[in-house]
């Protein structure tokens, strides 16, 4: 993304318009990613703020990037775990887990016919068996549109183990769908228009 | 080009970037539909792969604009400390980015509004209140389409790259600049238009209105910009709030039906909620006070432009405010002045009234806007103590002579 390169360079040179652009473009997606590690909105907002403070502090010493979103996600995740580690050291938040909590829209979807209800249940069940790592990878891949290279760097994974995690998730959903061949769910309004 | 897809399995499809973009963003819809038509044996696998990807959709928790701005204020201050010679962001600086993102000039200022919403305001957009001429559709690549009919119907498909005009002719247009590309519909006096946006939301645009919107909504919210009057039937998407921005306020909804009327020449604007829930926020207060008003069905919020006061009326009959979209105009104790100003927009005429006419007198009734202006004025003159004369595009109104009994 060559636009990212240019905006990033301007930001490094202290351009406030570039900073503002980056912040408003990515605040919501950073928040949505961060809140899945720790459900406390104040904590997540503090971490986002710290990511930007760090960027401003480093200024021209920052490396270059052609993918700002990837840079921000990785920095936010590092910041969250650094903060959590600090809290752990002073005896706060000892027992909390900070696994990736992702819930799915389909869990709130209502279905019309009995067949659809059955199929919906089977899909929700298949989703419920996904591990936190699988959830994170699925989120980064399908919701955020990241490629395996970026995902592996953020999650500290090897390429083939990342692919395997996704592949297994896909297969367990596929089984659920194939067991209910006769029901065709129309999931979410956005997609209803593509009737196949 | 898509040859390799012939041999794809369900799993292969779920890994393919183009396929994912089609399912999640509607990208290149027509190409995929063609592919399925030509390869019917792949239909089942493609449907399964779609269902898998759709099942992965996250149920997101979003932060409010107020939260976003309060963090921004800290970051902005920190930035100023580090750059003592910090420049104030202005329009010109932003326009450089607008150019980078290949926005059209005017659209660049639209985006400015969003990014610098706490510094800039709607006035930067230059959304003009249209007067005369034909209804105009301006696509994100700058192409203009003139529509001669009194009533027009425009439908954007889910990919935002096909526009069906009057349920008949279809324009194919790759949306420039992806989700950041804006299209516009300008409806002059004397016309109305129905627009279906790419998310399925329906917008009825009344005479004298101007709507700016993304040909395809990307990002965290569905933003549109309006001056004039529109009735919105918003498709529910809890992860992507729908935001209508006007000069003074913005209205945030998840999925509802409501009417918003904000003519530049009026002293007040109003929002009438038919179904669901909407939130009104004044633009200037963003990040400062965060005052907001939430409306319930059958409530009407009136925003007075002079003092920024919002009052809410309950138990209203919303039909009086929305009947225009079905081609009629209902009044319940409305001033003659208001009735005239609405008729002036519909029929694209000007009213010239004699000083003796009691313009603040209230009248009630229903007018059929499919009738000619002359027929409509006949009805008005029965209900109100006025006489009228139509000459070209002017309606001369005089007070009715009172019957004086002869002595």
- How do residues B217-254 score in pLDDT, each as one tens digit? 877 788 888 888 999 999 888 778 898 988 888 888 87
Q: Render pLDDT for A109-134 as a digit per residue (tens, 0 to 9).
A: 777 788 888 888 999 999 999 999 99
CA distance B76 to B83: 10
Instruction: Return the closest-CA partner of residue A165 out of A144, A135, A189, A194.
Output: A135
Q: Which of A17, A103, A166 sits opposite B93 (nearest CB)?
A: A17
Region B18-43: mean pLDDT is 86
* Residue B276, Ramachandran bin (φ over 0: left; ψ between -120 and 50: alpha; else beta): left
Which residues from chain A sit within 8 angstroms of residue B88, using beta carbons?
16
Q: Answer yes or no: pTM beyond 0.80.
A: no
Identify from B22, B46, B58, B223 which residue to disrupt to test chain A contact, counting A C-beta atoms within 10 A and taking the largest count: B58
Instruction: Return the closest-CA partner of residue B26 out of B216, B219, B155.
Output: B216
CA distance B244 to B262: 11
Q: Take residue A165 and report the two structure tokens written for it.
A: 């995690």
* Residue A91, Ramachandran bin (φ over 0: left; ψ between -120 and 50: alpha; else beta): left
Is the Cα dihedral B358, B363, B368, B369 positive or negative? positive
Chain A: nearest CA to B2, how far in angstroms?
Answer: 18
Q: Take residue A16 and report the two structure tokens written for it.
A: 């406030």
| ipTM attached to this prediction | 0.90
Cβ under 8 Å to B: A residues 14-53: 14-21, 23-25, 27-29, 31-32, 35, 41, 45, 48-49, 52-53
Q: Render pLDDT for B267-304 as a digit per residue (tens, 0 to 9).
A: 889 999 998 888 888 875 444 445 678 898 999 999 88
Mean pLDDT of chain B: 78
CA distance B294 to B85: 41
Which residues from chain B sit within 8 angstroms of residue A103, using beta carbons?
58-59
Chain B: nearest CA to A143, how far in angstroms?
Answer: 7
Angle ∠(A96,A100,A105) on CA atoms, nearest 5: 125
CA distance B188 to B247: 19
The Cα-based distances of B171 to A74, B6, B133, B161 in angstroms read: 41, 29, 22, 8
Is B93 within 8 Å of A187 when comparing Cβ atoms? no
CA distance B341 to B330: 14
Is B79 within 8 Å of A56 when comparing Cβ atoms? yes
Interface residue A59 vs chain B (CB under 8 A): yes
For chains A and B, count residue pairs whose Cβ atoms are closer than 8 Å. Answer: 174
Contact status, residue B226 vs residue B210, Cβ threshold 8 Å: yes
Interface residue A183 vs chain B (CB under 8 A): no
- According to the per-residue pLDDT averaged within each range, which of A146-155, B159-168, B232-241 is highest? A146-155
Which residues from chain A sit within 8 angstroms of residue B59, using beta carbons?
103-105, 107-108
Rounded to 5 degrees, φ, ψ at A138 are: -65, -40
Identify from B43, B60, B64, B276 which residue to disrupt to test chain A contact, counting A C-beta atoms within 10 A and taking the largest count: B60
């Amino acid at each position: 993304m060559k636009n990212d390169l240019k905006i990033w360079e301007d930001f490094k040179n202290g351009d406030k318009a570039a900073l503002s652009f980056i912040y408003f473009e990515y605040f919501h997606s950073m928040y949505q990613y961060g809140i899945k590690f720790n459900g406390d909105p104040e904590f997540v907002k503090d971490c986002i703020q710290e990511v930007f403070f760090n960027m401003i502090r480093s200024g021209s010493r920052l490396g270059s990037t052609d993918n700002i979103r990837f840079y921000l996600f990785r920095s936010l995740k590092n910041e969250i775990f650094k903060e959590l580690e600090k809290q752990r050291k002073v005896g706060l938040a000892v027992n909390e887990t900070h696994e990736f909590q992702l819930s799915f829209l389909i869990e709130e979807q209502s279905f019309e016919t009995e067949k659809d209800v059955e199929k919906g249940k089977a899909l929700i069940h298949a989703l419920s068996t996904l591990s936190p790592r699988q959830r994170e990878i699925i989120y980064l891949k399908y919701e955020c549109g990241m490629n395996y290279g970026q995902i592996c760097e953020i999650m500290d994974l090897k390429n083939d183990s990342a692919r395997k995690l996704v592949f297994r998730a896909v297969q367990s959903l596929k089984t659920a769908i194939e067991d209910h061949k006769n029901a065709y769910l129309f999931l979410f309004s956005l997609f209803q228009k593509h009737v196949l | 080009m898509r040859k390799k897809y012939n041999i794809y399995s369900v799993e292969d499809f779920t890994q393919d970037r183009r396929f994912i973009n089609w399912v999640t963003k509607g990208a290149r819809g027509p190409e995929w539909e063609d592919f399925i038509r030509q390869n019917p044996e792949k239909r089942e696998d493609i449907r399964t792969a779609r269902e898998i990807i759709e099942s992965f959709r996250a149920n997101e928790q979003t932060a409010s604009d107020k939260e976003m701005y309060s963090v921004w204020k800290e970051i902005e201050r920190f930035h100023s400390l580090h750059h003592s010679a910090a420049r104030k962001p202005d329009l010109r600086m932003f326009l450089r980015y607008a150019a980078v993102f290949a926005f059209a000039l005017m659209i660049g200022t639209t985006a400015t509004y969003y990014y610098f919403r706490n510094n800039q305001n709607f006035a930067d957009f230059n959304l003009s209140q249209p007067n005369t001429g034909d209804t105009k559709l301006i696509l994100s690549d700058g192409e203009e389409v003139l529509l001669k009919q009194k009533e027009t119907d425009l439908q954007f498909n889910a990919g935002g790259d096909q526009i069906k005009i009057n349920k008949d002719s279809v324009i194919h247009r790759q949306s420039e600049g992806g989700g950041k590309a804006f299209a516009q519909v300008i409806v002059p006096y004397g016309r109305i238009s129905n627009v279906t946006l790419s998310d399925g939301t329906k917008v009825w645009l009344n005479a004298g209105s101007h709507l700016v919107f993304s040909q395809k909504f990307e990002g965290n919210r569905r933003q549109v910009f309006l001056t004039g009057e529109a009735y919105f039937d918003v498709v529910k998407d809890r992860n992507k709030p729908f935001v209508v921005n006007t000069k003074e306020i913005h209205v945030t909804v998840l999925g509802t039906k409501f009417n918003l009327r904000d003519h530049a020449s009026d002293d007040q604007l109003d929002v009438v909620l038919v179904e669901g829930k909407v939130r009104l926020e004044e633009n200037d207060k963003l990040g400062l006070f965060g005052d907001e008003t939430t409306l319930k069905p059958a409530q009407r919020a009136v925003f007075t432009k002079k003092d920024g006061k919002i009052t809410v009326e309950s138990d209203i009959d919303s039909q009086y405010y929305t009947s225009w979209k079905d081609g009629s105009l209902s009044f319940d104790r409305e001033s003659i002045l208001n009735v005239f100003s609405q008729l002036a927009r519909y029929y694209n005429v000007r009213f010239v009234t004699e000083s003796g006419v009691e313009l603040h007198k209230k009248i009630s009734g229903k007018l059929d806007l499919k009738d000619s202006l002359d027929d409509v004025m006949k009805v008005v003159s029965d209900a109100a103590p006025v006489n009228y004369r139509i000459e070209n595009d002017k309606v001369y109104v005089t007070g009715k002579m009172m019957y004086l009994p002869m002595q």
